Amino acid sequence: MTAGLLDGTATAKAIKDELRAEIEALRARGVRPGLGVVLAGDNPASAVYVRNKTRACDDLGIHHETALFAATTTTEEVAAKVTEYARRGDIHGILVQLPLPAGVDAGRVLALVDPAKDVDGFHPENLGRLVQKRPRFVPCTPAGILELLERHGIAVAGKRAVVLGRSDIVGKPMALLLMHADATVTVCHSRTRDLPKVTREGDILVAAIGRPGFVRAEHVKPGAVVIDVGINRVEKEEEARDLLDEVRLADFARKGTALVGDVHAPSVRDVASALTPVPGGVGPLTIAMLMKNTVKAARLGA
């Protein structure tokens, strides 16, 4: 058995195409959705993520502004910009790109995001609403994963689902969404005993642990659907040879770098029934759902 690929790029395109009509309807009413972004520090990955998000805004005709801050910025400076975005009528969604520099109090900054503009879904109010199954904005990566499953006709109700990772950004909200969709959910983490035995219980396995190639065939139930949330950069040839197939290895030889997930794709694809690729799996969906949340914020605020 070779796993079928769950194409996140195609699914993200479908979501964005559906948004175009809604954006046009809003603009006919004089409302152009707007996204305010805060980018602080010199993290290269963060800069790439923000660039990809603002490109998606340009593609859809969503207004966007990015406030750039040096790594030496203060909590007060970043907080002032978030407060400004919160009071402006032309900014419907606020995105604070994490991580923030060490000298900035991330908790204080995120608490200043207006819950009605919290398009990342990280504010305590929005997380609380998600717990109660009354969501306003759902964190983008888990929401995108659920869309991916639904649009590929993968039933969730009644299934055993295992989430590997317990972060506030992915693991916890993912578990809640799967639970609300009537799956029986287990959350695993670094302290879980006999981890492969537990993960093999999952008809659906979501890997969000942040360790390249960690999930291998021994972790996967035959026929399971495996969702790889990880985005890890590999630059060592020995590691690349272990994690990449022949086609991607040739590309690595040319570039000297490659992106890999938390799943060891070469071994898992022979066990799973379906697998998300990295890149081209969950990443594009995260951006698409950010756009969807921004449009929703504009609609609710209009």
Q: What is the pLDDT of residue 66?
A: 97
Active site residue 292: no
Active site residue 97: yes
Provide the CATH number for the domain around residue 201.
3.40.50.720
The CA-CA-CA angle for residues 17, 18, 22, to 5°, reads: 115
- Regarding whether 242 and 279 lie in a shared domain, the answer is yes
Active site residue 132: no
- Regarding whether 152 and 262 lie in a shared domain, the answer is yes
CB 165 within 8 A of CB 140: no
45: in domain: yes
Q: What is the pLDDT of residue 240?
A: 92
Q: What is the pLDDT of residue 8?
A: 96
Provide the CATH number for the domain around residue 104.
3.40.50.10860
Q: Is the pLDDT of residue 4 over 80?
A: yes
- Regarding whether 175 and 62 lie in a shared domain, the answer is no
Percent of the chain with pLDDT over 90: 95
pLDDT tens string 116-134: 999 999 999 999 999 999 9
- What is the average pLDDT across 55-72? 97
Q: Is the pLDDT of residue 3 over 90?
A: no
Q: Which of 97, 228, 292, 296 is catalytic?
A: 97
- Regarding whether 263 and 218 lie in a shared domain, the answer is yes
Q: Look at strands 258-260 and 232-234 and give their pairing.
A: antiparallel
Q: What is the C-alpha to C-alpha distance for residues 83 and 61, in angstroms, rounded to an integer?
A: 24
Q: What is the pLDDT of residue 41?
A: 95
User: What is the domain extent for residue 191?
Assistant: 140-283
Of 252 and 302, which is predicted with more confidence?
252
- What is the average pLDDT across 169-189? 97
Q: Which of 16, 114, 117, 120 is catalytic?
A: 120
Q: What is the pLDDT of residue 1?
A: 61
**Cis ω for the linkage preceding 44 (within 30 of 0):** no
Dihedral (Cα; 79, 85, 86, 87), 10-degree rounding? 120
- Regarding whether 149 and 272 lie in a shared domain, the answer is yes
- What is the average pLDDT across 233-237? 92
- Regarding whether 161 and 271 lie in a shared domain, the answer is yes
pLDDT tens string 70-94: 999 999 999 999 999 999 999 999 9
Q: What is the pLDDT of residue 292?
A: 98
Q: How many domains does the chain have?
A: 2
Q: Mean pLDDT score of the chain, rounded to an integer? A: 95
Strand partners, 38: 67, 96
Q: What is the C-alpha to C-alpha distance for residues 273 and 282, in angstroms, rounded to an integer?
A: 17
60: in domain: yes
Q: Which of 53, 159, 221, 296 is catalytic?
A: 53
Task: For residue 190, name the pLDDT band (cuts at 50, 70, 90).
Answer: confident
